[in-house]
Amino acid sequence: MNLDAFPAAIFAGGCFWCLEADALHLPGVLSAVSGYTGGHEPEPSYEEVCAGGTGHFEAVELRYDPELVTFRALVDWFWRRIDPGDPDGQFCDRGEQYRTAVFVRDAAEEREALASRATLAASGVLPGPVATAILPAKPFFSAEGHHQAFSAKNPQRYQLYRRGCGRDATLARLWGPADVLAGYVPRLPRRTPDEAELRRLLPPLAYHVAREAGTEPPFDNAFWDEHRPGLYIDPVSGAPLFASLHKFDSGTGWPSFTRPLLPGNVTLLRDDARFPPRVEVRAWHSGSHLGHVFDDGPRETGGKRWCMNSAALRFVPAGDLAGRGYGRYAGLF
**How high is the mean pLDDT in each 10-residue block of the chain (333 residues)?**
93 98 97 97 95 96 98 98 97 97 98 98 95 98 97 96 96 94 94 92 96 96 97 97 98 98 97 91 98 96 96 98 97 94
Q: What is the pTM of this model?
A: 0.95
The rounded distance, in Å, linking the Cα atoms of 81 and 85 is 12
pLDDT number for residue 169: 96
Q: Which domains does the chain show, CATH number per domain?
A: 8-175 (3.30.1060.10), 195-332 (2.170.150.20)
Residues belonging to the active site = 15, 307
- φ/ψ bin of 87: left (φ > 0), alpha (ψ from -120 to 50), beta (otherwise): alpha
pLDDT number for residue 273: 85
Extended beta strands in 109-168, E state: 133-136, 141-142
The rounded distance, in Å, linking the Cα atoms of 221 and 227 is 14
CA dihedral 259, 261, 262, 268 (to 10 degrees): -30
Is the peptide bond preceding residue 276 cis, with omega within 30 degrees of 0? yes
Q: Residue 237 class from Cβ within 10 Å (0-12 exposed, 13-18 middle, 19+ buried)?
A: buried
pLDDT number for residue 118: 98
pLDDT number for residue 1: 80
Residues whose CB falls within 8 Å of the CB of residue 72, separated by 6 or more in sequence, listed in order: 112, 115, 116
Q: Residue 300 class from Cβ within 10 Å (0-12 exposed, 13-18 middle, 19+ buried)?
A: exposed
pLDDT number for residue 161: 97
Residue-wise over 158-184: b if at least 16 C-beta within 10 A, else e?
A: beebbeebebeebbeebbeeeebbebb
